[in-house]
Amino acid sequence: MAERRGECLWKKHVAEQLKLRDREQRQAFEEIILQYNRLLEKADLQAVLSERYQADKYDVQRGHESSAADSSRSDALQQEMAQMRIRHQEELTELHKKRGELAQSVIELNNQIQQKDREIQNNEAKMLEYQQQISSLEGDCRELRSCLQDLERANQTLKDEYDALQITFSALEEKLRKTTEDNQELVSRWMAEKAQEANRLNAENEKDSRRRQAKLQKELADAAKEPLPIEADDDIEVLTEDAGKAGGETSPSRLLTRTPSKKISQQPPGGLLDSISLMFGYVGVCVCVRVSVCMSVCVSVRAGSGSSVLDHLAHSSALSLSLSHTLTGHSGKVLSARFLLDNARIVSGSYDRTLKLWDLRSKVCMKTVFAGSSCNDIVCTEQCVMSGHFDKKVRFWDIRAESIVRELELFGRVTSLDLNHDRTELLTCSRDDLVKIVDLRTNAVKQTLSAQGFKCGADWTRVTFSPDGSYVAGGSADGALYIWNVLTGKVDRTLDRNHSSAINSVSWSPSGAYVASVEKGSRAILWSDM
C-alpha cells in the first residue's frame, strides 16, 4: 500500500512539473508567435499589393497606349505606388530585422529548453534514487518496528521475571531478618553460657593456681634451705662465649657456645637460684626451657643487676592467669591477633580468609572484612591495619572505610610482619627466604635482608625489629638465629649451636638486652650478652 502511494505521488509530481514547464515556455514563445503571425499578414499584404501594383502597372501601360488623356492620372498613380513600395520596403526591412531577433531568441530559448530538459532528467534520476532510498528506509523501518516489538515483548518478560524475583527477594529478606534475629538470640544465649562457663573455669583455675603457687613456694623454700649441685643432665644450660673462635674481635657478632663456665664446679653458698644468679653475673648466657609446641613468643622480662633471669622466670610461672574473654566468630584457625593502639579493640586474622575487628568492652565483632586469602600475620597503626597473606600480598586496610588502601606483592607467601618503634618502617618475611624493610612514607622497599643458610621454615615464621629499630632478628629452618644490622644490611651475628629444629618465632625484650627464640621441637631459649 505504501509503495502504490509513493508511485502515485511521484507521478503526480512529474505531471505538475511538466505543466509548469509548459506554461513557462509558452509564455516565452507567445510574443514570438504573435510577431511571426503579424509578419505573415504583412507578407500576404505585400503579395496582394504587388499583384495589385502589377495589375495597375499593366492597366497604366494599356491606358497610356490607348489614350494620352489619362497621362496625368497615371503619373499620380505611379507616384502613389512608388511611395507605397517604399513604405512596404521599409516595413519588410523592419520585419526581417525582427525576424532575425526572434530567430536568435528562439535559439536561446531552445538552448534553455534543452538545459531544462537535462535538469528534468537529472531530477528524475535523483527522484528515482530517492525513491529507492525511501523504499530501503521503509524496509529498515519495518525491521526496526519488528525488533522493537520483540524487545517490548522481551522487556515485558524481564519485567515479569523481575517482579517475581522481587517478591522472592522480599520473602527471603524477611526470612533472613527472622533468621538473624534468631541467630542473635542464640548467640546471646550462647555467649551468656560461655561467660558462665568461663567464670566457672576462672574460679577453678584460681583455686588450682593458689594450690600450685603454695606448693611451688614450699618447694622453693625447701630448695633454698639446702645447697644443690648442678648435674650434667639438668634442663638448665649455661652457655659462655667461645674466646678462641672470637679471635680477639670486639664486634657484637661474637657467637655464644655451650662451653660450661668454670664457676659451675664451685659449691654455691646459697640456694639454687642464688647460685644461678651468681653464674649469670660472670658470663654471657642463654637460658633454655622446655615448653609445649609454640608458634610465637613475646619477652617482657625486666631483670635488675642483682637478680637472675631464671629467678624472674620462676616468679612469672607462679602468677595466676585467668581467662577474661572468649571471642568467637572465625570459621577457621586464628593465625594472628593484635591489639589496636587504644587497647580496647583487637584485630584478628584467620585461615578462613577474613579479618575481624573486636570490641573488648562489648565483647562482640564490630566489623568483618573478606581478604581473599588466609592471613598469617597482622600489625596495626592508628587508622591502618597491615595484613600478610598466603597469596604473597601485604594488604593495607583503612579501619574506618573497611576497604583496601593499597597492596604490596612479594615473591613468596608472607609469614611475618613487624613495625619499628616509630611505625614508619614495615618488616616483612616471606617463603622466598627474604626479609624486607618497607618505608611506609614512600610505600617502597627500602632494604632487603638475606643470608647464606637462612631459610624460612614455616608459614608462621616470625621476624622482629629490635626496640630501637637498629637490628632485625629472625630464626631459620636449620635452628640458627640470625641478627642483621639495619644500617649496613649485613648479618651481625649468627647463633646456631643451641636449637635442634626450625625456629618459629623470636622476640626482643623491651630493654633490648634479651632475645627469646622458640623452636618447633618444644624448646625456648632466652639469649643475653651480659
Residues in the chain: 530
Residue 368 lies in a domain: yes
Do the beta carbons of residue 371 and residue 332 sit within 8 Å?
no
Residue 443 lies in a domain: yes
pLDDT at 236: 45
Question: Kind of pairing, strands 364-370 and 481-485?
Answer: unpaired
Integer Cα distance of 324 and 340 in angstroms: 18
Give domain status of residue 468, yes or no: yes
Report the domain count for the chain: 1
pLDDT at 436: 96
Residue 63: predicted pLDDT:
59
- Give yes or no for a contact between 516 and 524, defined as CB atoms under 8 angstroms apart: yes
Q: Which residues, in sequence order, are bridge partners of residue 153?
A: none
pLDDT score of 270: 38
pLDDT tens-digit profile, the chain (530 residues): 556 666 677 778 888 888 887 777 777 677 777 777 777 777 777 777 777 777 766 666 665 555 555 566 667 777 878 888 888 888 888 888 888 888 888 888 888 888 888 898 899 899 999 999 999 999 999 999 999 999 999 999 999 999 999 999 999 999 999 998 898 888 888 888 888 888 888 888 888 888 888 888 888 787 777 554 544 444 444 444 343 333 333 333 333 333 333 333 333 333 333 333 333 333 334 444 444 444 555 544 433 333 333 333 333 433 455 677 788 889 889 999 999 988 889 999 999 999 999 998 888 898 888 888 999 999 998 888 999 999 999 999 988 776 788 899 999 999 999 999 999 999 999 999 999 999 999 989 999 999 999 999 898 899 999 999 999 999 999 999 999 999 999 999 998 878 889 999 999 999 888 999 999 877 899 988 65
Domain assignment present for residue 454? The answer is: yes
3-state class of 393 per DSSP?
Answer: strand
- 268, 507 contact by CB (below 8 A): no
5 within some domain: no
Is 273 within 8 Å of 224 (Cβ atoms)? yes
Grid coordinates standing for 202? 576462672
Q: Is residue 11 part of a domain?
A: no
CATH number for the domain spanning 463: value is 2.130.10.10
Q: What is the pLDDT of residue 188?
A: 85
Burial class of residue 463 (count of CB atoms within 10 Å of its CB; 0-12, 13-18, 19+): buried
Q: Which domain holds residue 470?
A: 334-528
Q: Is residue 116 one of the residues assigned to a domain?
A: no
User: How much is the pLDDT for 400?
Assistant: 79
pLDDT of res. 505:
92
Its pTM stands at: 0.47
Residue 82, pLDDT score: 82
For residue 457, being part of any structural domain is answered with yes
Strand partners, 356: 348, 368
CB 345 within 8 A of CB 358: yes
